[in-house]
Amino acid sequence: MTSKASKLHAAGDAPGRDAAPFRLVYVPDIDETAPRQGEAYVLGEVRFGSSRTPARRPDPDYPLVCVPIAQLWASPIKEYWLSPTPVDRRRQAGIQISANDHVLFGHTQFTLPATGAELEREIRQRYDAILELLGAQGYDHLMRMWNYLPRISDDIDGMECYRRFCRARYDAFETFHEELIPNLPATSVLGTSGVDFQIVFLAGRSSPRHYENPRQVSAYHYPRKYGPKSPLFARATLVRWNREDSLFISGTASIVGHESQHLGNARAQAEEILRNIESLVNHVAASANLATRGLREITHLRVYLRDAKDLETVRRVVQGYLGTTIPAIYLHAGICRRELLVEMEAFLGVEKLT
Ligand code: 3EB
């Protein structure tokens, strides 16, 4: 046992409930050394732009996710989920996992099958495997999920890929959980230019709290016109540690109620999204008595654009609301509804006032 670990135990704290047991950092893509400095261990690394795993990898168990979604901004960034304590890495049931005592980072992928029925069967199987693995390992609580879909808006055998995804996910969650809604985590679903379906997730041993947005109909209550089975996700997930709160904001679009707003207008969509996120953060802050001052507290932002030409317009809106120094990754991605041009997701690491 390291001296640091003994100190934690000696202090009588629940280990790791002090500061968060993970930290998200954005690192310039050219920097190969940053996360290996100091005392951090890598739970997971996410790179955007190519599905190709680098040929030279230090360790085959290294949890590297390569997402074929291009970055639009001049200085590409990669994302690290870091652990203050050593991580246990393993591959199990087709899922690559990486965990410390409190949180588990996981990744699984498969090549898009030829038919719609096979696609749904495969998604269902992967979700079943994830839920089963988390239960068996004691990381029972999903905190955040990302789903990367090839051909997200294409019809596959007469039904949109995203709608098939929603149906398969619904069936998996419904079978696994007696009560659905309290178990749905913050989530994003984006379209890629690749051929692999990828699922990335973070789960924890302790129970998070999930929130809905007062400006939006809960996705699990969307009317039938959006697909045969509802999308199952929460608008936000809050995980509380002793000195810090972690707030995950789901992929958020220009949707008020359940209707898409500002068709064809990327600037107005971006503004609507930031109003949505602001309302959500304020709602969580009021419900959970958080020490956050709202939008300006966002520490990490991902901005997804359907059309690369909207970059400057949307970037100006983002900087107007969040300031010019906001750490943001701009990505060229497919978005669930065909009429939506922009989507954003956020992470807030909020230090508690003492
Ligand atoms: C929306 O609000 C936009 O199906 O898991 C955003 C985040 C969206 C997550 C999901 C869908 C999902 O309906 C789309």
pLDDT tens by residue, 119-154:
999 999 999 999 999 999 999 999 999 999 999 999
Strand-pair category, 41-48 with 64-67: parallel
- Whether residue 187 has pLDDT greater than 60: yes
Cα 133 to its chain centre, rounded Å, is 19
Residue-wise pLDDT for 272-314, tens only, equals 999 999 999 999 999 999 887 789 889 999 999 999 999 999 9
- Whether residue 348 has pLDDT greater than 60: yes
Which positions ≥6 away from 129 have C-beta within 8 Å? Answer: 93, 94, 95, 108
Whole-number Å distance, alpha carbon 88 to ligand 1 midpoint, is 31
Q: What is the pTM (predicted TM-score) of this model?
A: 0.93
- Whether residue 75 has pLDDT greater than 90: no
Identity at 243, one-letter amino acid code? R
Tell me what pLDDT residue 8 has. 30
With left for phi above 0 and alpha for psi between -120 and 50, is residue 10 left, alpha or beta?
alpha
CA-to-CA distance for 329 and 1, rounded, in angstroms? 38
Tell me what pLDDT residue 35 has. 61
**Side-by-side strand order, sheet with 196-204:** 88-92, 95-99, 103-111, 196-204, 141-150, 186-192, 334-335
Mutate which of 210, 216, 233 for ligand 1 pocket (most atoms within 8 A of beta carbon): 233
Whole-number Å distance, alpha carbon 343 to ligand 1 midpoint, is 9
Tell me what pLDDT residue 298 has. 94
CA-to-CA distance for 272 and 49, rounded, in angstroms? 27
**Which two three-digit tokens encode residue 82?**
């870091």
- For residue 235, the ligand 1 atom closest to its alpha carbon is 7
Question: Is 219 close to ligand 1, i.e. is its CB under 6 Å away?
Answer: yes
**Which two three-digit tokens encode residue 228?**
């045969």
Whole-number Å distance, alpha carbon 334 to ligand 1 midpoint, is 12
- Whether residue 46 has pLDDT greater than 70: yes
| 12 — pLDDT class (breaks 50, 70, 90) | very low
Catalytic residue among 45, 79, 271, 343: 343
CA-to-CA distance for 284 and 289, rounded, in angstroms? 8
Backbone angles phi, psi at 243, to 5 degrees: -115, 5
Percent residues over pLDDT 90 in the chain: 80
Tell me what pLDDT residue 9 has. 32
Q: According to CATH, what is the number of the domain 11-351?
A: 3.30.1330.40
Q: What is the rounded average pLDDT for all residues in the chain?
A: 90
Whether 244 is catalytic is no
Percent residues over pLDDT 70 in the chain: 89
Which positions ≥6 away from 343 have C-beta within 8 Å? Answer: 188, 190, 251, 252, 253, 273, 303, 304, 333, 335, 336
| 52 — pLDDT class (breaks 50, 70, 90) | low
Q: How many CB atoms lie within 10 A of CB 70?
A: 16
Question: Is 189 close to ligand 1, i.e. is its CB under 6 Å away?
Answer: yes
Query: Helices in the chain by DSSP H: which ranges?
Result: 3-10, 116-137, 161-176, 266-288, 311-322
- Whether residue 321 has pLDDT greater than 90: yes
